[in-house]
Amino acid sequence: MKLLVTGFNGFVAGSILAQVPKDWEVHGIGRSTIPADGRNIFYHQVDLLDKINLRNSLKKIMPDAVIHTAAIANIDYCEQHKTEAEAINVSATADLANICKEIDTKLVFCSTDAVFDGHKKNYTEDDTPNAINYYASTKIRAEEIVLSASKKNIAARLALVIGLPIMGKGNSFLAEMIEKLKKGEAVKFPANEIRTPVDVITLGAALNELAAGDFGGIIHLSGNTRINRYEMGKQIARKTGFSEEKIIAIDSSDIPGRAPRSNDVSLSNNKARNVLKTPMLSLEEGLELILSGKF
Ligand SMILES: NC(=O)c1ccc[n+]([C@@H]2O[C@H](COP(=O)([O-])OP(=O)(O)OC[C@H]3O[C@@H](n4cnc5c(N)ncnc54)[C@H](OP(=O)(O)O)[C@@H]3O)[C@@H](O)[C@H]2O)c1
């Protein structure tokens, strides 16, 4: 198995790369000159907006599968930088899907629970997406492009990801939260936002399994616990040995200048539990795994 992971230095990619089976040949692409961690990995410096470099690299590597994590994943940044978000999240994904089709490579695209408007709950793969912010709109269009390029491609919709960076850094709210709690600072969480958080270790294992397996189509990768972010914050504080009193409930509308967020984008993970050997975990189990120090 030859795997290529985009977004090498990101949060989710770190977990994928740390868990690839030992007999796989693994390639990572990222923008920086030096990889965050190069353990047993062939690193290629590629900006996804550089179509020629992207094409040449893919044709040289000829991977069996690509897990495409690279994106502008910051919802507020996307809202304020729509042209850049469009270029990376949609156009570069389309380029990648075209190249993968040409070389008959499976593409596993990291989408998001944010594709749903939040008016329902426990969304299944058959529910219809409806974007309420620009980030979601880019992800919905990218999903359509990826899925129409090949029946073997996958749109994996990730729920809110919790965990500590394993390699590199990236977008881990847990790391930031622990830093604040260590300094005795309060941490605010919207109580009106309901999610089904997935731990980054389970997520990395599930994405590797999807890359190597026969499944094609849409799949939700989420944890088994449906919880609002405030209660989630309190559970994390308890589990990491901090006082719950530092966790403050707010409403999304209390955060000025924030892009709109869906209230309840809890995902049903029944399909993942049927298709995957990787077990989907409760929040409690996921936190134990993250804090176990195994990775
Ligand atoms: N984290 C979550 O809670 C969550 C939830 C749902 C879905 N997702 C999706 O899951 C995926 C991974 O998320 P993440 O949390 O790992 O994000 P992340 O830590 O922000 O990583 C994204 C990576 O994409 C890379 N990238 C951005 N533009 C690029 C370009 N033009 N060329 C090459 N690389 C580029 C970034 O590279 P640099 O390091 O050079 O900036 C970064 O390393 C994303 O598609 C995100 O939308 C994440």
Choice among 57-71, 156-170, 183-197 with the minimum mean pLDDT: 156-170
Beta strands in 7-91 (DSSP E): 25-30, 42-45, 65-68
Quote the tokens at residue 288.
């134990």
Contact 72, 85 (CB under 8 A): yes
32 C-beta closer than 6 A to ligand 1: yes
292 DSSP 8-state letter: T
Q: Could you give the CA distance from residue 163 to residue 174 in angstroms, rounded to a whole number?
A: 6
Please say if the pLDDT value at position 23 is more than 90: yes
Please say if the pLDDT value at position 39 is more than 70: no
213-243: pLDDT as tens digits: 999 999 999 999 999 999 999 999 999 999 9
Say whether 249 sits in a helix, a strand or coil.
strand
Count of CB atoms within 10 A of residue 69's CB?
Answer: 27
- The residues with which 157 forms a beta bridge, in sequence order, are 111, 220
Name the residue ranges covered by the structural domains of the chain.
Answer: 2-163+197-223+267-281
CA of 82 to the centre of ligand 1 (A): 16
171 C-beta closer than 6 A to ligand 1: yes
The residue count of the chain comes to 295
50 C-beta closer than 6 A to ligand 1: no
What type of residue sits at position 272?
Answer: A
Q: Could you give the CA distance from residue 4 to residue 44 in angstroms, rounded to a whole number?
A: 10
The number of the ligand 1 atom at minimal distance from the alpha carbon of 92 is 31
| Mean pLDDT calculated for residue range 18-47 | 86
Q: Whose CA is nearest to atom 27 of ligand 1?
A: 71
Which range in 8-12, 147-151, 249-253 is most confidently predicted, on average pLDDT? 147-151
263 DSSP 8-state letter: S
Contact 79, 133 (CB under 8 A): yes
Please say if the pLDDT value at position 37 is more than 70: no
Quote the tokens at residue 191.
């109580």
Q: How much helix, strand and coil, in percent to the nearest 5, is found in the chain? A: 40, 20, 40
76-127: pLDDT as tens digits: 999 999 999 999 999 999 999 999 999 999 999 999 999 999 999 999 999 9
69 C-beta closer than 6 A to ligand 1: yes
Q: Which CATH class is domain 2-163+197-223+267-281?
A: alpha beta
160 C-beta closer than 6 A to ligand 1: yes
CA of 74 to the centre of ligand 1 (A): 8
64 C-beta closer than 6 A to ligand 1: no
Q: Could you give the CA distance from residue 202 to residue 199 in angstroms, rounded to a whole number?
A: 6
Q: pTM score, two decimals?
A: 0.97
129 DSSP 8-state letter: P
| Mean pLDDT calculated for residue range 72-76 | 96
